[in-house]
Amino acid sequence: MKEILLNSENYQPGLSIDCVIFGFHDNQLKVLLIKTSYDNKWSLPGGFVPIKEDIDTAAVTVLNDRTGMQGIFLRQFATFGSIKRKDPNFDSTVLDYFEIPKDAGQWFTQRFVTIGYYALVDFLKAIPQKEDNHEIIEWIDHKEVPELILDHKEILDKALHTLRIELNLMPIGYNLLPEKFTIPELQKLYETILDKKLDRRNFLRKITHIGILKKLDEKKSNVAHKAPNLYTFDKDKYEEVLKNGLNQGW
């Protein structure tokens, strides 16, 4: 961070990127958050836009720089430019921590418009790598998110709202569930994201109608009651539906 502040000529003035990374684990929709050494509040993984990079490329760079994650497909979902994004107290705290005089940190104290990106990732495979030992990176249940810096709660809420809308336009689950899963497990994923209960029969009818599932000649083991059937995604059909979209609601 200090290196960026001291070399601000390499970055686009007044423009930043913030990433909302969702993962699903233990029937919880989790979000990846960072706690820095210069503030007690948590934040989304974010950063500044290099002058020599396109916006989408910069988003990948920012996520990699802050979390070490690679190969994540990021989807742009909104732009945030409220005047409230400028917080003089926050600016002063950061500059003081890095021992940067205010006149040398004027680039940082301006109001930044931020572009939001979100992604759904495989919780068990998308493992953040901490390069900065002074930062904490954690997956936190989206319903138990602590206080966030600036307008990051607004950005998170908007990303979740966008995810719920797009759930009606495209299938999900391919990167969030194990290779073999049950219909109740898939339904729980949808219910967790939508934050509402779904009728079991209607869900089965709709998800079957989409045509992205393969029923396996296997049943789930080690269950107390009648063993449910196992399914897997038909990758070709899944990719086809992703391309063409859905026209149904949940």
In a domain? residue 54: yes
Q: How far is CA 141 from CA 20, 28, 101, in A?
A: 13, 6, 38
- Rounded to whole angstroms, the Cα distance separating 172 from 156 reads 19
Range of the domain at 62: 2-166
Q: Are residues 91 and 56 in the same domain?
A: yes
In a domain? residue 102: yes
pLDDT tens digits, one per residue of 107-165: 898 889 999 999 988 887 788 887 667 789 999 999 999 999 999 999 999 999 999 98
- pLDDT of 99 over the 90 cut: no
Q: Are residues 214 and 112 in the same domain?
A: no
In a domain? residue 172: no
Q: Are residues 133 and 213 in the same domain?
A: no
CATH code of residue 10 = 3.90.79.10
DSSP helix, strand, coil percent of the chain (3-state; round to 5): 35, 25, 40
Judge contact between 236 and 180, C-beta under 8 A: no
Look up the pTM and report it: 0.87
**Max intra-chain CA distance, the chain:** 69
CATH code of residue 226 = 1.10.10.10
